[in-house]
Amino acid sequence: MTTRYTHTRDRAAGLVRYVVDGTPPDSLFARLVRARGPHSTVVLDCAAARATPGVLHVLTPDDDPGILFSTNPHGSRDDTSVFTREARFPGDVVGVVVAESRAAARAGAAAVTVHERPLPAVLDPATALDPATPAAHRGHPGNELARFAMGCEESDLAQALAASAHVFDHAFRIDAGPHHFLEPVAAIARWDGRGRCRVRSSTQCPKLSRPLLARLLGLDEADVEYEPVAVGGSFGGKEEFLLDAVAALCSRAAGGRPVTVETDRREMTGAFRLRHAATVRVVTGVDPDGRILARHIDAVFQGGPYAGHSPSVTANGLSLALTLYPAPATRATGVCVALNRVPSGAFRGYGAPQVLFAVESQLDVVARSLGIDPVALRERNALRTGDRDPLHGWPVRSFGLPSCLHALPAPRPREEPGGGRLRRGTGVAALLNLSGLTGVIGTDRAEAGCRIDRGRLRVLTACPDVGQGIHTVLASVAAERLGIPAELVDVELDLGQADAGLFASRGSYLTAGAVAEAAAELLRRARELAPDGLLGPDGLLRADLDGLAVDGAFAAPDNALAAGAQAAEVEVDCATGVIRVLRIDSAHDTGRVLQPAQAAEQVRGGVLQAVGMALTEGVGFGPDGAVERPALLAQGVPRPPWRIPVEVHLVEEPHPVGPLGAKGLGESPTMGVVPAIANAVRDATGAELDHAPFTPERVLAALRASPDPTVRAWAGDPIPTSD
């Protein structure tokens, strides 16, 4: 089953229909019932809810399928119920109310009385790691969701550190943060009366969600159908499998009528998924020239009571940081802990922004301590083309970090401080990212189909159209291969194609690669039938080619490592602790750039998101583990008035593997910005920022410890009165 998708221009014009835009006229509406306490057993009193006008059904833990699953569709610990009897965080889903209208569903959910019997709650990482602490999740022992160790042995690390001329030891923290995408998570389900369920969902991974939903419903996979639907911005948050089963169970309870399950902004911020908070310690040994001889990266990631993406987020952040700067002795260790707080989930960068904040901030300290240019020090130690991937042993076929570093503008000469209140400085940071999951899930592979149908080309993919629109890229790839206008190409969702979905920055490498292979084979066959050209006199594909169809696939032998570098120029008000970002330069080796304008905007959006991560975005928790101030604007999300110039530098070093030479770009722009800003503040003031976001209070505390006495004077009490 396929349905035509629109392209990016239609999104800008407001013509694209997202999940709830397709709400059927006869749809019922459902509202989730949530627990309030951090950890408890629950019993629901639904009498008042059932008596509420317009309420038709109330589903409770008695209606749960009784099958545990993981909200991570790629696979993780099966520890989640659709409706739980053991609420494990404030906002955990314990039931749902189905009604004739949104208002009635909301009133009915408010009328449900949730009786909670408190259980011991785990609310901070130190307590969680104490072996004597009760588990945040009674179904599993302890509070370690996963523990990792990779790289060299401890003894080799200790020996290399002992032989180093200089050893640096620093710890860094980054707070939890919101996803803040505009389209809330939603799902619509309808049973057709013949045991089949049709779902409309804002999922990045419909191919993976379908068998999971079928298992929960007790159906064959063929009896679950996902509608093609455009998905708004996701930033990883729509990799979670959450509402599809709720909608399906509600529709079944309602005799097959369609049911729309929506979340509102307060739920999205306070009870959905968060970016992981983390503490990262880095110990680095270098020789007199700054060459890294030994490094230990140790991280504690804060998860929720469900495993979900937390283990793989922790592992990915550690492995990327370990790969960026190979050394004779490198080791990464980490643990993700279970807490009775809103679960943490997949977020753009998947652990790398947190760990690279630590690695790149410390590297700047090393450079300044040894009197080495920060760019030169990074280039001296970085992974480069021709090396071996230190974790997998694969040859590094393309990694243009030196080119990215050289693409950044030279730092402006620093003005003499002169005791002034406003100080300007520049900072840099490097980054590394993957373009797929080869080595994590075996060989990452994508399939796609090309069909000529009534004068047009249909590109078939199991990858939904997410965010800016991967389907626009796929259309341009197919058009280029066939030498036809992109206006003749329709990209359609077809779950018969083997493609896991849009994640891990794999779209331009894996999915587009499969489309390129399919289009190339279609061109070969078409030329046999029409050697004088594919287009007819009416401007459409020739009628005698109608029905020609091929499938193509691309299996990635590596992850097409993508390099990048960020440079930040900032102004620091030493009296208030306010940081003003004046400019960001963002350079990326993304292989061959398939759509330059779209790529540049992808970079700008990611950089601004990361500026929010650095300066304003943070989620605080109350004494019961609940999110404080869950409104969207209370989370410090960047807003349109932020006028920060972002200069994009796209470095094209085509990857020699794959039909296009392209690599991933989706997540990289969020990496390296936080340390680049921290390093710029250090350049301006000498202050060390080790806790993000860099709120004025935290900046002032760091300024008061600056080695510059005039900075300390401005940041102290009393504040100087003249400039």
Domain locations along the chain: 8-119+185-262, 277-437+559-715, 445-555
Q: Bridge partners of 118?
A: 40
Tell me the average confidence (pLDDT) per consecutive run of 10 residues in the chain, 723 residues long: 50 81 96 96 97 98 96 90 96 98 97 96 94 88 94 97 98 93 91 91 92 96 92 87 96 97 89 95 98 98 95 96 95 97 94 98 97 97 92 89 94 67 97 90 91 96 85 94 95 90 88 96 95 92 95 93 97 96 96 91 93 93 92 76 89 91 93 98 97 97 95 76 48
- Scanning the structure block, which residue is given the tokens 């529709």? 251
Does residue 118 have a cis bond before it (omega within 30 degrees)? no
Q: Bridge partners of 425?
A: 570
| 3-class state of residue 274 by DSSP | strand
Q: How far is CA 259 from CA 189, 201, 229, 256, in A?
A: 6, 12, 16, 9
Contacts of 339 (CB under 8 A, 6+ apart): 122, 123, 124, 125, 128, 136, 143, 302, 303, 304, 305, 625
**Which H or E element spans position 295?**
strand 292-302
CA distance 30 to 56: 10
- State the pLDDT at residue 184: 85
Query: With contact defined as beta carbons under 8 Å apart, do 663 and 560 qualify?
Result: yes
**Which H or E element spans position 330?**
strand 329-337
Q: Is 716 left (phi over 0), alpha (psi -120 to 50) or beta?
A: beta
- Scanning the structure block, which residue is given the tokens 């969680």? 128
Q: How far is CA 447 from CA 496, 554, 629, in A?
A: 9, 7, 44
- State the pLDDT at residue 141: 85
Tell me which CATH code domain 445-555 carries. Answer: 3.30.365.10
**Superfamily, domain 8-119+185-262:** Aldehyde oxidase/xanthine dehydrogenase, a/b hammerhead (3.90.1170.50)
CA distance 705 to 677: 18
- What single DSSP character describes residue 121? -
| Residue type at position 691 | H
CA distance 473 to 479: 10
Find the Cα–Cα–Cα–Cα dihedral 324, 325, 331, 332, rounded to 10°.
-30
Fold designation for 277-437+559-715: Aldehyde Oxidoreductase; domain 4 (3.30.365)
- State the pLDDT at residue 3: 40
CA distance 231 to 2: 16
DSSP H helical ranges for 55-115: 102-111
- The domains spanning 8-119+185-262 and 277-437+559-715 adopt the same CATH topology: no
- State the pLDDT at residue 413: 67
Q: How far is CA 486 from CA 470, 491, 542, 611, in A?
A: 14, 10, 16, 35
